[in-house]
């Protein structure tokens, strides 16, 4: 039996990671968990994030035969990944690790920007990992807390969204960065708008694509790739299945045939 790749996020943003994996590894079975009922994660404390992510991984490993788990969320990858690796034996990946090397190889002037949730930016995880690899670059972070809400509302090309985006990105543009990391899995949905504001001289790095490459490399080395498989796609949420269904198809550019609801009480050990 071909095992699953499990992915989880606070909501729909991680679907950009799932899409990258489906595009690159179309024969892999996937199960996606969106913790919509407890979203957003970006303003949660580290202790809460660790508890939520542990509950989700425990649920996934308890109900599905998995070969790999992906924290398809920058906030979880920044705050909880180390904790999850200590608790669980199954391989667990985040979406941050493959990005610093790519950013260093991409920049020409040594000025790299990162945009993300408040928790991701305050963790300084991208800056720390990039500086571990190179002392000749400067990394500038920018919190963009409103963008997730605009994206999930479908406001991906509205004048109000452009105005808010410009407010967030103006300082990075002033700093003349030439490389910009999308430090939130929602942001690929507005990549064109970001590119338009920053200009073609700025290279945008999408961690979802880098993560998919890392997954393929890992499964290839471990001889765990699926072959000649008609893939199974499972979607789980903790609330608002209908909204996830309709919006998720926009993220994936594919049909979603069924979304199952997981009771939050079962995750937290309540009857």
Which residues are part of the catalytic machinery? 73, 184
Q: For residue 25, give every residue at least 6 positions away whose Cβ sits within 8 Å of its Cβ, in sequence order, or none.
A: 5, 212, 215, 216, 219, 225, 226
Asked if 21 and 248 touch (Cβ cutoff 8 Å), the reply is no
CA–CA dist 57, 242 (Å, integer): 23
What gap in Å lies between CA 247 and CA 86, rounded to an integer? 34
The four Cα atoms 18, 19, 23, 28 give a dihedral, to 10 degrees, of 30
DSSP characters over 153-203? TT-SS-HHHHHHHHHHHHHHHHTT-SEEEEESTTGGGGHHHHHHHH-TTSE
């Amino acid at each position: 039996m071909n095992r699953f790749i499990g992915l989880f996020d606070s909501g729909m943003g991680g679907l950009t990671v799932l899409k990258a994996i489906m595009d690159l590894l179309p024969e892999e079975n996937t199960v996606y968990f969106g913790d919509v009922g407890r979203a957003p994660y970006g303003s949660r404390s580290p202790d809460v994030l660790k508890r939520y992510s542990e509950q989700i991984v425990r649920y996934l490993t308890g109900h599905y035969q998995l070969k790999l788990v992906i924290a398809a969320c920058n906030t979880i990858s920044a705050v909880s990944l180390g904790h999850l690796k200590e608790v669980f034996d199954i391989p667990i990946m985040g979406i941050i690790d493959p990005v610093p090397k790519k950013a260093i190889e991409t920049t020409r002037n040594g000025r790299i920007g990162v945009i993300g949730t408040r928790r991701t930016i305050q963790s300084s995880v991208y800056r720390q990992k990039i500086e571990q690899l190179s002392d000749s670059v400067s990394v500038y972070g920018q919190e963009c807390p409103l963008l997730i809400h605009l994206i999930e509302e479908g406001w991906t090309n509205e004048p109000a969204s452009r105005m808010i985006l410009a407010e967030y990105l103006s300082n990075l543009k002033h700093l003349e960065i030439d490389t910009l990391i999308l430090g939130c899995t929602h942001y690929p949905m507005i990549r064109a708008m970001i590119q338009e504001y920053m200009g073609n001289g700025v290279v945008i790095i999408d961690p979802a694509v880098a993560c998919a490459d890392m997954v393929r490399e890992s499964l290839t080395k471990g001889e765990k790739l699926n072959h000649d498989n008609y893939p199974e796609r499972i979607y789980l949420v903790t609330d608002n299945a209908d909204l996830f269904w309709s919006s998720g198809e926009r993220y994936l550019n594919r049909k979603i045939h069924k979304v199952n609801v997981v009771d939050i009480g079962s995750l937290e050990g309540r009857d």
